[in-house]
Amino acid sequence: MRVSDESPAPDAAISLADFQELIRTMYLEKDVARGIDGTFMWLIEEVGELAAALRDGSHEEKLGEFADVLAWLTTIANVAGVDLNEAVQQKYGAGCPGCGQYICRCSDDEKP
């Protein structure tokens, strides 16, 4: 997906890499000016809104809040110069980072 001034088709699938590029194109100048610390505060606010939506929000509210959290996380990655596709591949591409299996076999006492 190439990002342009035109809106993408509303039903078009979007990859993580495409989404990161979309967020970069739309907001990078503002995001860099705000910096990582300010952007992190927006992410935390959105996580709180997601928590409220999970507790008692509608499906539409949950969709919106999940999208917002992902967008703000992506924004921080852009400002920090982190390629999310690379990060996910390195951390999870070979399976669970704890046990190395694609279906996690870690003890319930462990993080994953």
Q: CA separation (Å) from 104 to 85, 88, 98, 109, 110? A: 21, 16, 8, 13, 11
Hey, what are 102's tokens? 């694609």
**Domains along the chain?**
16-81 (1.10.287.1080)
pLDDT in tens, the chain (112 residues): 555 556 656 678 999 999 999 999 999 999 999 999 999 999 999 999 999 999 999 999 999 999 999 999 999 999 999 999 999 999 999 999 999 999 999 998 877 5
Q: What is the CA 69 to chain-centroid distance, rounded?
A: 6
What is the value of pTM for the model shown?
A: 0.84
